[in-house]
Amino acid sequence: MSEKKNLDLRRVVVTGMGMVNSLGTDVATVWQRLLAGQSGVHRVTNLSSYMDSFIINHPLPEDFPLIAGQIVDFDLKELLQTRKKNPSKEDIKQIKYTDRFTQFALAASLEAVQDSGLDLEKEDPERAGVIIATGMGGVGSWEEQIIKLLNEGVRRVSPFLVPKMIPNLAAGNVSISFKAKGPNMALSTACAAGAHAIGMAYRSIQMGEADLMATGGTEAAITLLTMAGFYRMGALATGCNDRPEAASRPFDTGRNGFVMSEGSGVLVLEELEHALARGAKIHAEIIGFGMTGDAHHITDPHIEGAKRCIKLALHDAGISPGEVDYVNPHATATPVGDKNEVRALAQIFEKVPRLPLVSGTKSMTGHLLGAAGAVEAIFTIMALKQGIIPPTINLDDPDPQCEGFDFVPDQARKAEIRHALSNSFGFGGTNASLVFKAFEN
C-alpha cells in the first residue's frame, strides 16, 4: 500500500447527493431504473426551437441521430416548492432568467442539500462553497439568440443572454440560492469537468478553505447546432433512430459513438468532524483524486495519460490497485476511447489477484458531457453503499480488444465493495479520477 505524502489533510465525506437526468429527477428513481437496466435514451422531442422551419430548407442527413438522453417534463418551479425550505419569490423569479443547464444544477443542488440534512441558516456562510462544472454552458440560449440576432436584429437579443450563457452561472446561482459565500467557481474541462469539480472541492475542504462544498457538473447541450458539430466530427452513435435504447454500447463490437445526454449531478462534501458533530448521515468518504493531461491530441485519448491519472488517484487514496473492487469507467462507446481505457485499466490491474468489476453506465444514461463525472460519481457511491453493481447493457458482442474484465452485462450484481474508482476523460486530453471508500469512522 502506498502512503499519502501529507497525513495532516482533513478527511472529506459525502453527506448529500442530488441528480437530474433522462432516467429521473432524483437519485432514488434514477438508481432504481439503472439497476433494472433501463435506458434513458429516446427520440428527441424538441431539438431546437427553430428546427422545423430550418429543416424545410436544409434537410438533415439520413443518418443524423435524432436520439438523446433528453429530460422530459422538467419543472424547476415544482422542484423548488418541494425541496427548498420556504422558497422566496426571487427563487421562483430567477427561473425565467436562467438557462436549462443552470436549472438542472439548481434542481440537483436542492436535492443534495435536502439529502444532507443541513440547516444552512445555522452554518457559517463563509465556510460553505460551490464548485459546479459544465462542458458547454448555456449553449441553448446562445443558439436561440444568435438566430434571433440574424433574423430580427440587435434589439431583439435578450438582455439576459450573457448571464444565461456563461459557464459559471450555474455555480453562481446555486451560491446565491443557498447564500454560500466561500469558494465559488466553475470548471470547464470538457467531459472530465464534473469529476474535476468534485476533486477540487475535495481539495478545498482538505486544505481548510471550506467546511462544506456543493459540487458536481451540469449540462444542457442537446441542441441542433451542438449535435451537428459532434455528428460532423464522427463522434455520435448513428444508425439507431429506430431503436434508440440500443444506441449506447460501451465495449461492444457494434459501438460507433456516444449518445448525447443532459442533466446534473451534485454532491455535498463535508469535513468529517463537521459532519460528525451535527450527526450527519454519511454516504461515503472521498479519499483520492488524480488529474493529468495527455499532451497528445485534441480528441483522441492516450492510454498513458489515463494510466497516470488513475495511479495518482490511487496514490492520493493511499491504496494499491488490488484494493479496488469496482470501476465506473468513462466508457463513452467510442471505438478508440473504450479500447484505450480498457488497455490502461489492464496495465494498472495486471498484477492483482482479483480484478475489479467494471460497468459502463453510459449504456443507460448516454453521455452527459461535463456532468458525466458527477452523475457517475453518485452511481459509484450508491454501488458502495448498497453493495450492488449496476449493469452494462447492450453488450451483445463484446469487443475482443476490450477483453479482460467482467463488465457486468445486462443484470445488476451484488458484490462486496470497499473501494471504488470513477474515471472521466475529456477532449483536449484532460483526465480525472476519483476514489471513494465505504465510510468507516
Kindly list the catalytic residues: 191, 330, 367
CA distance 133 to 435: 19
Residue pair 284/228 in contact by the 8 Å Cβ criterion? no
Report the C-alpha dihedral over residues 207, 209, 210, 216, rounded to 10 degrees.
-80
DSSP letter at 22 equals T
What residues have CB less than 8 Å from 156, skipping those under 6 apart?
A: 148, 149
Residue pair 303/423 in contact by the 8 Å Cβ criterion? no
Which of 436, 408, 421, 437 is CA-nearest to residue 326? 421
What residues have CB less than 8 Å from 337, skipping those under 6 apart?
A: 301, 330, 331, 425
Residue type, 19: M
Which of 286, 266, 290 is CA-nearest to residue 102? 266
CA torsion through residues 302, 303, 306, 307, sign: negative
